[in-house]
Amino acid sequence: MPQLNGGGGDDLGANDELISFKDEGEQEEKISENSSAERDLADVKSSLVNESETNQNSSSDSEAERRPPPRSESFRDKSRESLEEAAKRQDGGLFKGPPYPGYPFIMIPDLTSPYLPNGSLSPTARTLHIQSGSTHYSAYKTIEHQIAIQYLQMKWPLLDVQAGSLQSRQALKDARSPSPAHIVSNKVPVVQHPHHVHPLTPLITYSNEHFTPGNPPPHLPADVDPKTGIPRPPHPPDISPYYPLSPGTVGQIPHPLGWLVPQQGQPVYPITTGGFRHPYPTALTVNASMSSFLSSRFPPHMVPPHHTLHTTGIPHPAIVTPTVKQESSQSDVASLHSSKHQDSKKEEEKKKPHIKKPLNAFMLYMKEMRAKVVAECTLKESAAINQILGRRWHALSREEQAKYYELARKERQLHMQLYPGWSARDNYVGGYGKKKKRKRDKQPGETNEHSECFLNPCLSLPPITDANTPKKCRALFGLDRQTLWCKPCRRKKKCVRYIQGEGSCLSPPSSDGSLLDSPPSSPNMLGSPTRDSKPQTEQTQPLSLTLKPDSLAHLTMMPPPPPSLLLAESAHSKPSTLAVSAAHCQNGALDLPPSTLQPSAAPSSSLAQPSTSSLHSQGSLAGTQPQPLSLVTKSLE
């Protein structure tokens, strides 16, 4: 079984990341900046890698088995320093201010709402976080915590880890697990409630969409702060989302990425007790934190009996019963009974839980940002949302993306360790006859990845267009113009137009002027708006920039879009799907790359401006300069 290669931990995804960044870099206009940025990124990564490797190396089996004593200060400090540096680089010094008092672990800048739905973080929510954070943080004690801090800091520069760590040490001395209920079987005091949201979840976006500040989910009743009456998050920020707990804390900790957070009262990834073909590697030689994490996240069937994940109610997200999202609609047990007449193969298949692929960087990003986009626009259709997200993704700075790449890398790493024998092939039905999903009829050129046929304020990102990637009718005309679609498209079949003309779809659009054959210069275009102005400052807190409140400020500072971006189509405005949605989009500038936003400006504006007011302002703003922003076009050569 794939073993954790001690030093190879970092190579998980390293390549792809590099490649990815390289690709991004190709879009950059300034090579020097690229190299610089890449260097920075490399530094960040290397520091992470070092951290990771160090963790793995340093955490011997023995150490992992017994609750690992706090790592040596030297290492911790050293690592932290590097991480801090990296964090500084990432945040551009935006959050150099003193940490929030009383909230040692997480600093939630006022403008960080990107992590919250609607981009707003109510004072209440903030309070909640802080309280929860401090409360739980007191329990922070083990090496995992240190690692967590380091990692979190790296991942989320917004987190004031440093201050937190310092305070945490103090806190550790005088504070322990807040309540017996929070204490888990292990030596490590784990403060968490199975149904609570990880305090970090608001920051770690994945669950943000389900986290409603000020409005604690109904399903989170139990753990309430006696003083405030505010429900406590399930588990302390101290626990690294990635390297959570000790072996005894099985299933107690919500996934850092929101994995384990029961969202909307329902576990995202229901688990099953079905057998998993890969027994839990009890002797898995992973670093302490990782081993802890493993046990904490491991599904019941993969951990010792007494560790019942169900007791906690927190399943591992990656494990899904056939019931969920699988063809099989029955639980493992049920499936066993029902499938008696089926061949052993199928039985076996059903028997084992479906372990999902780890999310890649973009998926993580999507999870985080989807709610926001949905909130910003009235769009509900995921396809449209995803298009927006795709653009936003491209508009992200490398630093921003790096965070997600790193998260994804960690995800893969964890996934690999959790499911040593798992392979993407397990879920892959393409080549082996098992047809789970119909093979997509997509043709090579059909992947209109960066298609830009929409004029959507929400899509006001620089076009990542590819003239050579024609779009299907759906993409070209949008849902509201289905009459223009070819029949197959209307039936959600293969686009005839596209097939016939190999991009023939282009013609119709052009007729209405919506078509933009953009110069493949997209890379430049992409880079220019976002990165031209200021590679560094702009990217400081991109996520926060997309907040509605900031949109105005953001817009005002937005440099004029490159001519190429300017669209002719706006005039015609044949609303495509997205375009239509754009109409509903409250904030046309939402998708603007954070590039131009001044770090200092963001926080104040975001806080000061009620989200509601933003609507009007946005509307007026839209009148002022919405078009260029919203337009993604291709210039006809």
Partner DNA sequence: TTCCCTTTGAAGTGG
Partner DNA sequence: CCACTTCAAAGGGAA
Given the complex with DNA, which of 448 and 618 has the nearer CB atom?
Answer: 448
Looking at the chain, how many residues does it have? 637
Radius of gyration of the chain (CA): 24
CB of 415 to DNA, least distance (A): 8
CB of 167 to DNA, least distance (A): 33
Q: How far apart are CA 179 and CA 362, in angstroms?
A: 38
**φ, ψ for residue 53, nearest 5 deg:** -65, -45
CB-based burial of residue 58 (10 Å sphere; 0-12 exposed, 13-18 middle, 19+ buried)?
middle
Given the complex with DNA, which of 492 and 616 has the nearer CB atom?
Answer: 492
CB of 310 to DNA, least distance (A): 19
Given the complex with DNA, which of 66 and 325 has the nearer CB atom?
Answer: 325
Given the complex with DNA, which of 106 and 318 has the nearer CB atom?
Answer: 318
CB of 583 to DNA, least distance (A): 15
CB of 71 to DNA, least distance (A): 28
Given the complex with DNA, which of 19 and 636 has the nearer CB atom?
Answer: 19
**φ, ψ for residue 321, nearest 5 deg:** -70, 160
What DSSP line would sit under 151-163, residue for residue? HHHHH-TTS-HHH
CB of 552 to DNA, least distance (A): 27
Which among 73, 95, 241 is positioned nearest to 155, based on CA atoms? 241
Given the complex with DNA, which of 111 and 361 has the nearer CB atom?
Answer: 361
Beta bridge partners, 320, equal 354
CB of 554 to DNA, least distance (A): 22
Given the complex with DNA, which of 553 and 578 has the nearer CB atom?
Answer: 578
CB of 525 to DNA, least distance (A): 14
Given the complex with DNA, which of 73 and 449 has the nearer CB atom?
Answer: 449
Q: Give helix 73-91 / helix 31-58 axis angle, nearest 10°.
A: 160
CB-based burial of residue 579 (10 Å sphere; 0-12 exposed, 13-18 middle, 19+ buried)?
buried
Between the alpha carbon of residue 244 and those of residues 24, 171, 289, 423, 592, the distances in Å are: 32, 19, 7, 24, 35
Q: How far apart are CA 50 and CA 57, in angstroms?
A: 10
Three-state secondary structure call for residue 268? coil
The DSSP secondary-structure symbol of 319 reads: E
Which among 614, 468, 486 is positioned nearest to 546, based on CA atoms? 614
CB of 149 to DNA, least distance (A): 25
In sequence order, the 6+-apart residues with CB closer than 8 A to the CB of 282 are: none
Q: How far apart are CA 307 and CA 330, in angstroms?
A: 24
Given the complex with DNA, which of 299 and 549 has the nearer CB atom?
Answer: 299
